[in-house]
Chains A and B, each alone.
Chain A
Amino acid sequence: MRAAAAKAAAAKAAAAKAGTAKAGTAKAAAAKAAAATLVAGLIAALVAVPLVSLARIAAEAGLTGIWRALSGPQARVAILHTVAVAAVVTVLAVTAGAALALAIERRPARTLPRLLVAGPLVIPEFVLGFAWSQAYGPAGLSDRLARLVMPGLFGPAGIIAVLTVYGLPLAYLAVTAGLAARADPALERAARAAGAGGWTALRTVTLPLLRIPLLAAAALVFVTAAGSFAVPQVLGTPAGFATMPTLVYDDLALSASPAAFTGLTVVALALVVLVLLALGPLDLWLARLRPSARPDAPPARHQSRTTGDRVVSVIVWAYATFAAGIPMLTLVLTALTRGPGLLPVPANWTLANFSAGFSGGGAALLRSAGLAFTAAILAPLLGSAVASLARGRWRGPLATLVTLAYAIPGSALAVGIIIGYGRWLDGSVTIILLAYVAKFWVFGHRPVQAALDRLPPGLTRAARLSGAGSATAVRTVVLPPLTVAMTTAAGLVFILAFHELTMSTILYGPGTETFAVVIMNQQDLGGIGATAALAVILTAPVVAVAALAAWLARRPSRSARPAPRPPARPPVPPSACGSPAAPGGGPWFP
């Protein structure tokens, strides 16, 4: 009798348990659906609405309107300039970046060369362009000291040179990631053992293996160069050399006619089409190819330094000194010097430029920091949401969509956002934040996705079998390994948002200037010393933090391991096209 009662009670309890279990899964499914809807809605709001807005304005103009806008003399020249500059930069940066990666990554002591090559990425484009003009331009430092002026600095040659300094590290990192993931040193050794000389092994084995990373690097560099606004603005505009992004900016800033607005919208849309044609199919394709990569290739064995190492070192040092060292030093000297035309000697030093800069730009500095901080919090959260929700069939397309949001040139995205949301949010801080989150979402997504992919599959199952509920399992075994990736993502987004100029110049209103905008306006007004001081203030914190991070990353491995250190392989973004994310894994921001 009692036994039967106990049995009944047990059955009841079991039923109740099954009921809660069912309710639990139903709840989880509902939560998942809600989260998926939220993410889809956000992607639509941040990426789709601006693009659709651009397309709507263009469609209203009709085919003839589009044709007229694109075939106008200004637009035609700008399109030609953009394509030509981006193509040349792509060739130069990918060739040099790949050569340097192959020369450096297979040798001992590669941390320093890596930092030297990648360093310029932490300098805002506008600042580097301005620094080059002060270092190598007419009345610049080299002109005054040695009567040396870089020919064509204001114009296509200078734009190409500075953009190559930015493209080179992107290519370098993509090839490095490719080397680590695809080109196991044993493969090259097998070729050598099979009778191939060093160059033949490079030609027949290593380069074919790197074809996909190289293609990805080329697409990435092309997109970055085509969408660059700051460099053509500071080096091209004085020479009357316009590209699509500067044309959009000029039209928006200088003319108020609806026809001009339609024209710039069409140009912006054309810019989008241009980069999407370069990037879209490639990214999808790469995402599909990814599983064939070998993520855990053993590191190459090292030998002592050779003459080749020293030659590579000298080249890297010379390059870094010319590309970033001298210009940035000039920038600091200019900021410290009392007036233009004076020699930067201690007698002429002053801090007046800095105090003037702070009094004019203090509020903007705080605003920029706040915006960048908020974006740095939001982007990794949204990125994790996409990474954890997009499984199976939707994974590739969703990741591509987020990547494309980055690839859309800032000018076009900003114009799209103005059309889409301007009537409510015009000139507010919120609209700038929207643009930042849309643009930099990918940097929150790619590192987290890469970290998720590296987690062994049985992780949560083992946790569940050990007694953890689904939420507890995620909290205790999935999130901890992701914290590094999320921190990396947050740091990277902060830097990019803090430096952002292209979209901010289009979106800001009275009282909502960001710090970068203040600097550009200051340069427009011709205050060279003040511009330099503000540029130093904009750059210094990030450079300092990055240098500290790089130093910290190097130090423990030295004390802990006297033996040669296994290479700190930059985490591979899911597809190298996302290599906007490669910097995230890069060695200067662990």
Chain B
Amino acid sequence: MVPVTATRALRTPDAVTCAGLSVGYGRPSLAGLDLAVAPGETVALLGSSGSGKTTLLNAIAGFVTPLAGEIWLAGAVASAPGQCLPPERRRIGMVFQDHALWPHLSVLDTVAYPLRRAGASKAAARQDAQVILEQLNLGPLAQRRPGQLSGGEQQRVGLARALACQPALYLFDEPTAHLDASLRAAILEEVARRRHADGAAAIYATHDAAEALAIADRVAVLHSGCLAQLATPADVYAEPDDLTVARLTGPVSVLDAPVSPAAAGKATITIGAAQATVPCTAAPASAPASAGLAVLVRPDWARLDGGFDGSGDLPGTITEIRFRGPHTDYHVATPAGTLLIREAGPPQADCGPVRWSLLRARLMPSEHLG
């Protein structure tokens, strides 16, 4: 009997498979990367600038040839060393960071361009383009040139152009990088809607953790050209493999506190004179835990009122308070180091001594901190 996953793999090949992919010129900007994206899946590429996000997208789109490794698209080899399927034959729709709108074409002709290349007549292509523009509420802008559009409008036109390609795979190269918060939300919304509508796979490069966690089925964390972790948004947030991943996927505090194992899935953490026994997960250690453990705490894993059952009544001092709208950030100095605690609502405590409790923690060998 064949395992279910294998039959699925046989029936519908992955939208993209990168195997041992190395790309670069001189110093490789991607080294030995493995990544598979299932049909209909959205994978967020999360990494700081220079981590290789754009390079990976360019390799998948066929703009650069890999040094080593292969890229498969829908079950066929598209890129290998010395071999590169031209970009126009990859059925990929790409949204560029700087929009990359052609200054000499109107919005309508820009969106009609992929349809023309697919063989439609000028009139038919324009008609279909108009339909796509209406869907994105861009109809009134059809005759404008890119120079006459705002940043958000430009990026929506870029999105419309990618839609017109009717691709099996979307590539988003930080499409919201140059947009302000509200436009960003609108574009994200649009991207999510589109994806549900046509079921194409998507790879979404971003350096914004919140964006990546919100939009993706899985998050691939890239760090200096290597895949640091690949997991669901909840997993990369709750169980980062190392500190780099933890920092890239959201705010995190590192406490230097003695840890001793307790009952199943729990550990006792000593802070100052007090102790807390809380659910803990541990990152895989590459070496025996000789160097000791560090305690990673997300801002929502601690509360400002002490005395919960078993979660401790821990000492600390609030040193800073930052009101951020829906929530408030408290910087708490503890005997084990500075801790960020996030509570809903406006500030409810003042600077000064405070008791706090720990709800959960992530343990990590200290060698991962370096």
Contacts and interface: CB of A to CB of B under 8 A. Distances in A.
- B partners with A: yes
A301 B63 contact: yes
A187 B102 contact: yes
B261 interface: no
B117 A292 contact: no
B25 A197 contact: no
Interface in A277-304: 292, 298, 301-304
A193 B92 contact: yes
B86 interface: yes
B114 A195 contact: yes
Contact of A563 (B27, B64, B86, B98): B27
Interface string B1-45: 000000000000000000000000111000000000000000000
**Size class of the contact patch on chain B:** 20 to 34
B100 A184 contact: yes
A190 B94 contact: yes
A303 B64 contact: yes
A195 B117 contact: yes
Contacts of A190: 94, 96, 100-102, 158, 161
A189 interface: yes
A197 B25 CA distance: 24
A209 B103 contact: yes
B304 to A, nearest CB: 43
Contact of A194 (B26, B98, B104, B113): B113
Interface in A175-215: 182, 184, 186-187, 189-198, 200, 204-205, 208-209, 211
A467 interface: no
A186 B98 contact: yes
B63 A192 contact: yes
Contacts of A194: 88, 113-114, 117, 161, 164-165
Contact of A182 (B64, B86, B103, B114): B103
Contact of A192 (B26, B87, B161, B164): B87
A258 interface: no
Interface string B54-75: 0000100111110000000000
B147 A197 contact: no
B88 A204 contact: no
Given A186-B96, A209-B104, A301-B58, A193 B165 contact: yes
Contacts of A187: 100-103
B93 interface: yes
Interface residues of A, number: 29
Contacts of A196: 88, 113, 117
Contacts of A195: 88, 114, 117-118, 165
Nearest to B167: A193
Interface in A81-131: none
A303 B65 contact: yes
A304 B96 contact: no
A24 interface: no
Interface centre among A190, A195, A211, A292 (most CB of B within 10 A): A195
A204 B100 contact: no
Contact of B61 (A189, A197, A204): A189
Nearest to B158: A190
A192 B86 contact: yes
29 contacts: A184-B98, A186-B100, A189-B63, A189-B87, A190-B96, A190-B100, A190-B101, A190-B102, A190-B158, A191-B113, A192-B62, A192-B86, A192-B87, A193-B162, A194-B88, A194-B113, A194-B161, A195-B88, A195-B114, A197-B86, A200-B117, A204-B113, A205-B102, A208-B102, A209-B103, A301-B25, A303-B64, A304-B25, A563-B26
* 5 interchain residue pairs of minimum CB distance: A195-B117, A194-B114, A192-B87, A186-B100, A190-B100
